[in-house]
Structure 1
Amino acid sequence: MKFNYLPPTIVFQEVPDEISLCFSITGCKVGCKGCHSTELWNENYGSPLTNKAFIQWLKKYQRLISCVVFFGGEWQPHALIEKLLIAKNFGLKTCLYSGEEAGEKHININISQHLNF
């Protein structure tokens, strides 16, 4: 399974008091009713978010951001945790937005231990 993403954006509202670099991860398996980003359900959409590419994005915005936000990605815990650890090593806070919280499932403890938000 691919860990694809769309080019990140700088966001200000998702995490209060933080300037965040936001990555939308494709291949969502949650399928929330009323989802406003159904294009993210297609795992072939976007480009692979390799560790090298992720580090390049962090270096590019290093002095401008305080947090990294992932919209999705929890369906690939290993790949997501790798990125969370890299972000932490850059001194950044981490956040995950997931439809899992609204459903019967909960975020994997192995992921949540690496999240600030």
Structure 2
Amino acid sequence: MLHYINTDIVFQEFPDEVTLAINISGCPCHCPGCHSRFLWSDEGSDLTTEVLSSLIREAEDTITCVGFMGGDADPTAVDTLAEHVLHCHPGLKTGWYTGRTAISPLINQQHFNYIKVGPYLRHLGALNSPRTNQRMLRRRLDGSFEDITFRFWK
């Protein structure tokens, strides 16, 4: 069972989207220099499909995307939640921030419009650095993914 600490409406996590960002706890990555260490412990409220729909309904007049920030301990659960958004909240896009070095084979990538992959490495910087190891991928209409990381560079 995934747990979440909090949510926020954000404008920069996924390009051209107003996103309901859900901060999922229990991150096993523990990246050095992590800015979200509060997500390392597995605590918070259960993130079920019912809770997710409630969170979406509270923000549905504002958002265009639901972003799962973390969830690396249980990619299958993140995939199930993304699929729920696609089927029960049509018109909303989905995104996932994973700190893993590769996209989990346990997910159906077609459930996501965006996937950010890669651990934060302080010496390489975050997505806004041309040196970053992280990648922001966006699903094209044909189902393939394109790397749009350059859109974050300053």
Q: Give the TM-score normalised by the residue count of structure 1.
A: 0.87
- Contact kept in structure 1, 2:72 and 2:99, CA below 8 Å: no
For CA contacts below 8 A with separation 6 or more, give which structure has more relative contact order.
Answer: 1
**Secondary structure in 1 matching 2:28:** coil
Structure 2: give runs of 5+ residues left out of the alignment: 115-154
Larger helix proportion of the pair: 1
Deviation track 1:25-48 (CA, whole Å, cap 9, x = no partner) reads 0000111111111111101x2111
The count of aligned residue pairs is 111
**Percent identity over the alignment?**
37
Structure 2 Cα separation of the partners of residues 112 and 38 of structure 1: 27
Map 1:1-117 onto structure 2 (within 5 A): 2-43=1-42, 45-89=43-87, 90-91=89-90, 92-101=92-101, 106-109=102-105, 110-117=107-114
Displacement of 1:93 in angstroms is: 0.7
Larger CA Rg, structure 1 vs 2: 2
Partner amino acid, structure 1, of 2:93: K
Q: Give the TM-score normalised by the residue count of structure 2.
A: 0.67
Structure 2 Cα separation of the partners of residues 113 and 72 of structure 1: 18
CA RMSD, aligned part only?
A: 1.4
Which 4+ stretches in 1 moved above 4 angstroms? Answer: none
